[in-house]
Amino acid sequence: MSLCSEISLNMIDRVSVGDILSRTSDIFPDNIALVDGDRTLTYRAFENQANQTANALLGLGLNPGDTVGLLARNCLELMITYMACAKANLVCAPVNLGLKPHEIAYCLNDCGARVLIVEEALAGAGKDLPAHLPALEHVYWTGSTATEGGGKSWQPFESLVQSGRTDPVEVLTGDRDPVQLLYTSGTTANPKGVITSHLAVTMTAMSNTIANQTPPEASVLCTLPMFHCTAINALAIPSILTGGKLVMTKGFDAKESARLIEEHSVYMFVFLPMMYQAILADPEARSRDFSSVRRAFYAMAPMSEPMLKKVDDLFPSADIVLGSGQTEFLPMTCLIRTEHQWSKAGSWGSATPLTRVAIMDDEGNLLPRGQSGEIVYRGPQAMIRYLNMPEATTEAFKHGWFHSGDIASIDEDGVIWFTDRKKDVIKTGGENVASLEVERCLLGHPAVSEAAVIGLPHDRWGEAITANVILMPDAQATEAELIDFCKSNIAGFKVPKAIVIVDEFPRTGTGKIQKHMIRKSLEGHYSDN
């Protein structure tokens, strides 16, 4: 069979993320696809510019599987590049902006990026990168201000787009070929590159659409950064699949997010608990019309029941849902069903469509309902592998399941009750204590806004339960008061030995609390005790 015939047959029945945009452009050509501040893009323009960029990238001599790096916040150019890579069978690697400069250089070098696209506002952070990337051949910047640095000639992104044809891109694409490369936050070692296929991204988009009952042309607000799996895989691609309007921001602001929800009649979004708190604390933001919202997700951290009630009152038409998942097994993997919203509010809910969830012990045995062990997954949304880390890949897929590193149990209704990250279970005085349980207890105190519980070395206890706490604005509480509160609400061996009140937590680029940094800052805390 000739290559031409092979491509022609491939175009008929393949699974390609780039084809998602083409199909939606056929149906909703004049609908607004993307909103980026004052800039918008219709589906027809989105399709044309993605085709132009794809053809231009192939014109540079890139081959299937080559990597295009992106140093950008949420913007039109990021989404155009992502879809262009998907159409050209290239791998899109949006850089985690929460990483340190040397970690960003490590990631781009690790994946051998041949092209780097830098947002104009981040040119200062990107100018020194090319000198550390021997495989890098081309650098483009978005915007109107000329940029240079790192011994490379920087070209305008617009010139790249305009150099390509709008003709559909015809490139042989396998369902399991890689389409995106996202790097984990690298909490204890170098970040891990997670390679994900066209099939996984497409199936995840379908699963999210079904689970969220997303109607065609719905508006979705995306404040989380697109280098994170939740933003790109649970919000952006499903929005494109259904012909929705993806409203992007370059960060979170309570007033602006509330305004955008009202202006665009937003159907769905994902906020961190602290984002909900910011809206609740802002009278102007709180006064907006939120009646369009049907799915208000929260992620990264738990919320107390009183806080959930306040959020429920704020978004009266919405289900308030905890979503879970991870870079290696694309979110959402578990969602709370409507009938369980309050009866099982502290849970992760049950498995989403296409996902199978089970509990496994350390020997690889699946455990019955009610028993605690590691959450393991099966489903088409699994990663292909960790980049350049075969041993870690083998470990993640041992016993024929993907291993999450999370500890939980599943009840008689198939609902998952998360206990803790495996590495965050605290072993104190011969007992295993879930940091999450202690955090939830502290969040029940009216003065506590956020809590992070860790174990620290202790001569007597092995590990001493230790809490870092952020108080509500204008609230007051002492360490002794908070410890007494814990004593009244949880077993004595779970009560923190110390509570440190702080103004802020170290966080990743997506706002997740970095417990390893808290542990490091409190090294030796009990050395004199």
Per-residue DSSP letter, 147: -
Bigger pLDDT: 106 vs 529: 106
Q: 56-65, 195-204, 302-311, 465-474 — which is least confidently predicted?
A: 302-311
Q: Which CATH class is domain 3-16+43-196?
A: alpha beta
**In angstroms, what CA-CA distances link 391 with 385, 395, 397, 525?**
10, 6, 10, 35
What pLDDT is recorded for position 432?
Answer: 80
**In angstroms, what CA-CA distances link 184 with 282, 436, 464?**
33, 22, 28
**In angstroms, what CA-CA distances link 199 with 4, 25, 90, 260, 401?**
23, 20, 14, 32, 18
The Cα 235–Cα 231 span in angstroms is 5
For the segment 32-45, the average pLDDT, to the nearest whole number, is: 98
Query: Is the backbone peptide bond immediately before 332 cis, with ω within 30 degrees of 0?
Result: yes
Residue 276, Cβ neighbours under 10 Å: how many? 21
What letter represents residue 253's amino acid? Answer: D
Strand order in the sheet with 416-421: 356-360, 373-378, 402-410, 416-421
Bigger pLDDT: 154 vs 358: 358
Q: Cβ distance 465 to 518 under 8 Å?
A: no
Does the pLDDT value for residue 146 go beyond 70?
Answer: no
Does the pLDDT value for residue 301 go beyond 80?
Answer: no
107 alpha-carbon distance from chain centroid: 17
What pLDDT is recorded for position 428?
Answer: 87
Quickly state the pLDDT bin for 431 (edges 50, 70, 90).
confident
pLDDT tens profile 254-287: 999 999 999 999 999 999 888 999 999 999 999 9
The Cα 142–Cα 121 span in angstroms is 9
Does the pLDDT value for residue 186 go beyond 60?
Answer: no
For the segment 145-165, the average pLDDT, to the nearest whole number, is: 84
What pLDDT is recorded for position 433?
Answer: 87
For the segment 79-97, the average pLDDT, to the nearest whole number, is: 97
What is the four-CA torsion angle of 381, 385, 386, 390, rounded to 10 degrees? 150
Residues 6 or more apart whose Cβ sits within 8 Å of residue 5 = none
For 265: left if phi > 0, alpha if psi spans -120 to 50, otherwise beta; the answer is left
Does the pLDDT value for residue 1 go beyond 70?
Answer: no
- What are the boundaries of each domain within the chain? 3-16+43-196, 425-521
Per the prediction, the chain carries an average pLDDT of 92
356-360 and 426-428 strand pairing? unpaired
For the segment 6-28, the average pLDDT, to the nearest whole number, is: 96
User: How many CA atoms does the CB half-sphere of 111 hold within 13 Å?
Assistant: 34
Quickly state the pLDDT bin for 124 (edges 50, 70, 90).
confident
Q: 52-56, 149-153, 212-216, 413-417 — which is least confidently predicted?
A: 149-153
The Cα 508–Cα 392 span in angstroms is 22
- pLDDT-above-70 percentage for the chain: 97
Please classify residue 209 by burial: count the beta carbons closer than 10 Å to its beta carbon, then call 0-12 exposed, 13-18 middle and 19+ buried.
buried
Bigger pLDDT: 97 vs 378: 378
What pLDDT is recorded for position 304?
Answer: 79
What pLDDT is recorded for position 189?
Answer: 63
What pLDDT is recorded for position 476?
Answer: 93
The Cα 301–Cα 507 span in angstroms is 12
Tokens of 158: 């617009």
pLDDT tens profile 374-423: 999 999 999 999 999 999 999 999 999 999 999 999 999 999 998 888 88
What pLDDT is recorded for position 385?
Answer: 98
pLDDT tens profile 344-374: 888 899 999 999 999 999 999 999 999 999 9
**In angstroms, what CA-CA distances link 133 with 22, 51, 105, 411?**
34, 27, 7, 50
For the segment 116-128, the average pLDDT, to the nearest whole number, is: 91
Task: Report DSSP letters for 243-255, one per residue.
Answer: T-EEEE-SS--HH
Tokens of 229: 């799996």
- If residue 325 lies in a helix (H) or strand (E), which one and from where to where? strand 324-326
302 alpha-carbon distance from chain centroid: 16
Name the CATH topology of 425-521.
GMP Synthetase; Chain A, domain 3 (3.30.300)
Quickly state the pLDDT bin for 436 (edges 50, 70, 90).
confident
pLDDT tens profile 394-404: 999 999 999 99
What pLDDT is recorded for position 12?
Answer: 93
Residues 6 or more apart whose Cβ sits within 8 Å of residue 492 = none
pLDDT tens profile 439-457: 989 999 999 999 999 999 8
The Cα 30–Cα 167 span in angstroms is 19
For the segment 322-346, the average pLDDT, to the nearest whole number, is: 90
Three-class secondary structure of residue 215 per DSSP? coil
User: How many CA atoms does the CB half-sphere of 21 hold within 13 Å?
Assistant: 30
What pLDDT is recorded for position 144?
Answer: 73
Bigger pLDDT: 151 vs 348: 348
What pLDDT is recorded for position 366?
Answer: 98
The Cα 271–Cα 123 span in angstroms is 28
**In angstroms, what CA-CA distances link 273 with 128, 280, 437?**
36, 11, 17
The Cα 133–Cα 101 span in angstroms is 13
What pLDDT is recorded for position 150?
Answer: 64
What letter represents residue 135's amino acid? Answer: A
What pLDDT is recorded for position 524?
Answer: 84
